[in-house]
Chains A and B, each alone.
Chain A
């Protein structure tokens, strides 16, 4: 697993190995990670911000954008990508 941008801060790491029980897909991996990071003591507001982040991210498997049903295999490189902000300075809206 690779984490970028704000997700590095949320997960507290840049990369890690994750072991899934058996063959899985991206949806199952996300479920596993959400379960692991869910914090019952989190305030309603912080929980909402977290939910927003989970809903907005994209996943890359072996450097290509993937979908929830994309299958995962031993040794795959999976990256969680928050909304990107490259290029020129974002226009204020």
Chain B
């Protein structure tokens, strides 16, 4: 499994090519790229930061879970940090599997779960201001203050 956090551009083509093996019938690729706007507000760039060691451990855990849950053969998870401009790849997920169904499902589950649990954040710089992206609510088992609990 290729699990990496990188500070420079992600070479998607080489990674995808390196993931293919004879027993595979499908390689599913998710290439997450920087969009040029949020709700119509024009984006200049994004700055990604991570709790690097923990993020890597979480990503390794997710890849192992994907193999076990969906029965896929191999997973690559690569996330980039630092300043990214419109169109650049922030995250690349590659799933190799004997059959396409498992590859699609694992790929979808990986990006959805990564966005909720892997400690990476982004600051959005627009033409008219800077904000930290809202982020996705943590799954109940990770949030310290669950809904409805008293302090």
Q: A residues within 8 Å of B by Cβ?
A: 2, 4-6, 9, 26-27, 30, 54-60, 63-68, 79, 81-90, 92
Number of interface residues of B (CB under 8 A): 42
User: How far apart sit A68 and B149, CA to CA, in the bound complex (Å)?
Assistant: 11
The distance from the CB of B87 to the nearest CB of chain A, in whole angstroms, is 11
**Does B53 contact A63, Cβ atoms closer than 8 Å?**
yes
* A4-B115 in contact given A56-B137, A66-B144, A86-B122 (Cβ < 8 Å): no
**Does A68 contact B144, Cβ atoms closer than 8 Å?**
yes
User: How far apart sit A9 and B131, CA to CA, in the bound complex (Å)?
Assistant: 11
**Does A67 contact B121, Cβ atoms closer than 8 Å?**
no
Provide the main secondary structure of the chain B interface.
mixed
Q: B residues within 8 Å of A by Cβ?
A: 30, 32-35, 38-39, 46, 48-51, 53-55, 57, 79, 90-91, 111, 114-123, 132-138, 141-145
Nearest CB in chain A to that of B141: its residue: A65
**Does A4 contact B143, Cβ atoms closer than 8 Å?**
no
- Residues of chain B within 8 A of A55, CB atoms compared: 145
Q: Among A9, A60, A82, A85, which residue has its beta carbon within 8 angstroms of that of B54?
A: A60
* 18 further A-B pairs in the complex, CB-CB below 8 A; given A55-B145, A89-B90: A4-B119, A56-B143, A58-B144, A63-B51, A79-B54, A79-B119, A84-B119, A84-B121, A85-B120, A86-B48, A86-B122, A87-B32, A88-B33, A88-B91, A89-B32, A89-B33, A89-B34, A92-B38
**Does B132 contact A5, Cβ atoms closer than 8 Å?**
yes
User: How far apart sit A55 and B149, CA to CA, in the bound complex (Å)?
Assistant: 10
**Does B120 contact A68, Cβ atoms closer than 8 Å?**
no
- Residues of chain A within 8 A of B55, CB atoms compared: 86
**Does A85 contact B144, Cβ atoms closer than 8 Å?**
no
Nearest CB in chain B to that of A88: its residue: B32
**Does B35 contact A89, Cβ atoms closer than 8 Å?**
yes
- Residues of chain B within 8 A of A81, CB atoms compared: 51, 119
* A84-B135 in contact given A4-B121, A60-B51, A92-B39 (Cβ < 8 Å): yes
**Does B133 contact A90, Cβ atoms closer than 8 Å?**
yes
**Does A86 contact B54, Cβ atoms closer than 8 Å?**
no
Q: Among A54, A56, A87, which residue has its beta carbon within 8 angstroms of that of B115?
A: A87
